[in-house]
Amino acid sequence: MFNSSLSLDQAPPLKIPLRFFITSPIFGLLAGLFILGFVSSLQARSSLSVVVFTHLITLGFLAMTMLGAMFQMLPVTAGVTLKHQQIIAPMVHGLLTAGLLLFAYAFYDYQPTLMIVAMAMLLSAFLVFVVATISTLKNAKNITPTIKAFIGALASLLVALLLAGYLVLSHVNTGFSEYHQAVVYTHIIFSLLGWIAMLIIGVSYQVIPMFYVADAYPKLYTKYAIKVIFILLVGLGFSLIIDNPSLYLLFKVFVALVLADYALSTIGLLLNRKRKIIDTTTYYWYFAMLMLLASIGLSVANEWLHMAQLNTMVVVVFIYGFAMSVITGMMYKIVPFLVWFHLTNEGYMNMPTMHELIGKKLTTIQFILHVLTLLSLAIFAFDSSFQIATGVLMVLSNALLLANLIKGSKIYFTKRGLQKMSF
């Protein structure tokens, strides 16, 4: 089951990744409540309420989970302990949590001074992590394809952060330049296709063979995909800045081909996996890859249709259908595995198996709610009357995800004789 290249003795304490994993569905729940109270339509994507909702998902759910996964996987895959992790992890988590909450309030209520403070907190959270990661990787024993993907994702994150800082200052000064819209789209490109997609690809290099007993991804893809994607993203940003639609379309098609190849390869590996047992996480992976292909198809189609609602739907399908599906499925695998690993490593043998820690029924119900939420959210992109249905489904889905993760984690603290969960 274990990849021989993994240094499991370098794994951080359970509480480090767990605090991030438990927090992420709370922000997903808050995003649902925000829809119910404040987002009457998704069609005005530049409106401050939509900006807040989007970042509750992308930073609160996605980035929160991704940072937790990196705190866990970096030491294990690189074979070196993340320096000062007991200090850095709570610092990053605290800055990200507080910064995002302040960001949501400042943007919704339009408080320019608080916008700057919130942005400073968010930038600090990510920069602390990036600096700690770079410092750690200097001594890395294994520069695996996963590590290379992490580096590409972090590089994309830095670009996205710089552009985010510019956008916040533009909102504060209300001095939008002629390049403002191009910067917005470039920020989205590096956030979604760089930071999020690259990190997911890198994690899947490790997770798919390990947890599903599947073959490794093709060496040609793992060697070149991340480099190619990053170069193409730079090309996309450049073509937007110089306002060259033909060049933009060319780079877009190549990005679509690389990501489609990844989706099809992942589906192929799962279909041909050696362990044929199907659990909810398998459904999540299949669904995520199909949604990635759907978002690619919709995006290409919209080059001819030019529908604002369809453009919004592309973002919805990519973020909620692809990214959130992958990340939710991974948490259902990683959290029980970490609980099992840490307890057995500490000598606790009389305990449920990894598959029994949460239970298939609860995870299946949550998966159904997740799919229904995406469906409602996609319709909401066209029809504002789906506001209530979308908000309610999102709240229910993330509330059950939170309950499931707590259920899967609680046994660790119970077995160790602790009265409450501690992060």
Cα separation, 386 vs 376, whole angstroms: 7
Cα separation, 115 vs 272, whole angstroms: 49
4 pLDDT higher than 60: no
Nearest to 189 by CA among 307, 314, 327, 367: 314
Cα separation, 404 vs 132, whole angstroms: 31
In CATH, 8-415 is 1.10.600.10: no
**pLDDT tier at 22 (50, 70, 90 boundaries)?**
very high
pLDDT digits (tens, 9 = 90+) for 244-301: 999 999 999 999 999 999 999 999 999 999 888 888 999 999 999 999 999 999 998 8
119 pLDDT higher than 50: yes
Neighbours of 212 (CB within 10 A): 20
End-to-end Cα, the chain, rounded Å: 28
Share of the chain above pLDDT 70, in %: 93
Residue 350 identity (one-letter amino acid): N
Q: What is the pLDDT of residue 164?
A: 93
Cα separation, 380 vs 385, whole angstroms: 7
Q: 3-state DSSP call for residue 14? A: coil
| H helix count then E strand count, the chain | 15, 0
* 197, containing H or E segment: helix 197-212
Cα 296 to Cα 108, 207, 259, 289: the distances in Å are 31, 23, 8, 11
**pLDDT tier at 181 (50, 70, 90 boundaries)?**
confident
Q: Radius of gyration over alpha carbons of the chain, in Å?
A: 21
Task: Return the half-sphere exposure (C-beta side, CA atoms, 13 A cut-off) of residue 53.
Answer: 28
pLDDT digits (tens, 9 = 90+) for 331-341: 999 998 888 88
Phi, psi (degrees; rounded to nearest 5) at 347: 95, 10
* In contact, 156 and 233? CB cutoff 8 Å: yes
419 pLDDT higher than 60: no
271 Cβ contact partners less than 8 Å away, ≥ 6 residues apart: none
- Token pair, residue 244, equals 């060259």
Instruction: Write b or e for each residue in 217-235: b if 16 or more Cβ atoms lie within 10 A of its Cβ, otherwise e.
Output: beeebbeebbebbbebbbb
5 pLDDT higher than 60: no
Mean pLDDT of 348-358: 71
* In contact, 53 and 30? CB cutoff 8 Å: no
- Token pair, residue 193, equals 């296709």
Cα separation, 24 vs 249, whole angstroms: 34
In sequence order, which ranges of 242-279 are alpha helices (DSSP H)?
Answer: 245-271
Whole-number mean pLDDT of the chain?
A: 89
* In contact, 118 and 102? CB cutoff 8 Å: yes
* In contact, 36 and 392? CB cutoff 8 Å: yes
pLDDT digits (tens, 9 = 90+) for 142-163: 788 988 999 999 999 999 999 9
